[in-house]
Copies of this chain bind each other. A is one copy, B any other.
């Protein structure tokens, strides 16, 4: 939807809610796609959100459930909390189980229990099944709704069976299982159209099915779907029994989230931080990281405090301190971004860590020489003192080398100790380049002190 259109809809929705004209509100939103209603809600304050959601619920409960599935779980919970238990359980029963699971987890314990009691058996079982698996695994995000048929079923019976089963969330494949429900193969709906009615599925199925295990990390699931160009991937348990399917729309959400998380972790942000959070909430999320950063950022002052004697005598050095620090940080950030992203999209892995390090070090030396010579040269020309040029140039060269070294090692090291390779890496790098850069610069300054004063 175009921004202008959305802005107009937000304005109209606000007006209709203000004047209590819920019929006009419904007319405004009834033809919108659930994802459009969800982004409209993102621009309303909580009370208006609830009014809008209640209108939706009264007019079209199916659509209300679809909107619920589109909202972020925390937003869904904020709305559901204000509804009666019956309404909540009514809604959650018609929402896809993989969207219900994260909502149930976030609901206050008392509401959650009341809802589970008033929900009917089947959906609860599905949802609780998902909640049994660890967060961010295939088992947690999979949908327990899919078409699975016995390998001996023929095409015509299979079509009847699917018709009886009714609609299943974005089913593009039919999975073929044996009598013990082990995953044996897959048939695309296209193959159904083109096969004689009496062919058994095992004759037309593709036998090499790419599947994931319930405890496969969701990012690995996403990489599988992306690498093999799938639109859905089956999930099996440890006995190769088919238990669910992850569809590509969930994969896109994961890839988006993963990319955002990489960027956030690099700069020490809580991965749930968002522009929609209240300022107070964001302060609470960012402050702990800033306090940690205060610690890492205190190494450089500690280094500098040992050189006050030198600086007192050659105050010109002070002028160039921010330049040495900034150049190291900039070059190091480049290396970190490359390494973090290559690890994320699986191009590196440890398999070529040594190659990556060698390459980045060469780049660091090359760029260091270029930028160091230029910086040194200019400072010599400006100050007329060749020793200042020498000290500054050397410090820049060494700091760009440091930046390449730590820019590669920090994410690789974080990965090695099983932390996220991006986690706080930019701050750790700043600590290294600031302190080593200034140590080199002021150390060299001390050595050549009699030429600088």
Q: Which residues in A have some Cβ–Cβ distance to B below 8 Å?
A: 3, 6-7, 10, 33, 35-36, 39, 42-43, 159, 162-163, 167, 170-172, 189-190, 192-194, 210, 225-231, 248-249, 251-253, 255-256, 258-260, 262-264, 266-269, 273-280, 282-283, 286-287, 289-291, 293-294, 297-298, 300-301, 304-305, 308, 311-312, 315-316, 318-323, 325-327, 329-331, 333-334, 336-342, 345-352, 355-356, 359, 362-363, 366-367, 370-371, 374-375, 426-427, 430, 434, 438
Contacts and interface: CB of A to CB of B under 8 A. Distances in A.
Contacts of A251: 252
Nearest to A283: B366
B304 A322 contact: yes
A448 to B, nearest CB: 18
Most buried by B among A258, A298, A337, A342: A337
Contacts of A325: 322, 325-326
B294 A371 contact: yes
Contacts of A291: 371, 374
16 contacts: A3-B350, A33-B228, A42-B347, A162-B193, A229-B249, A267-B334, A275-B339, A286-B363, A291-B371, A291-B374, A301-B323, A308-B316, A308-B319, A311-B311, A311-B318, A330-B430
A279 B362 contact: yes
A195 to B, nearest CB: 10
Most buried by B among A194, A273, A325, A427: A325
Given A268-B330, A304-B322, A430-B330, A275 B228 contact: no
Nearest to A305: B319
A96 to B, nearest CB: 11
A363 B278 CA distance: 9
Nearest to A279: B362
B248 A255 contact: no
Contact of A274 (B3, B190, B248, B342): B342
Given A266-B337, A312-B315, A367-B286, A326 B297 contact: yes
Nearest to A229: B249
Given A322-B301, A326-B300, A253 B226 contact: yes
The 9 closest A-B pairs by CB, nearest first: A259-B259, A279-B362, A300-B322, A229-B249, A297-B326, A267-B333, A283-B366, A189-B189, A35-B227
Contacts of A352: 43, 275
A193 B158 CA distance: 10
Contact of A275 (B300, B333, B347): B347
B275 A298 contact: no
B274 A194 contact: no
A197 to B, nearest CB: 11
A322 B434 contact: yes
A164 B80 CA distance: 51
A269 B321 contact: no
A178 B392 CA distance: 72
B367 A287 contact: yes
A366 B290 CA distance: 12
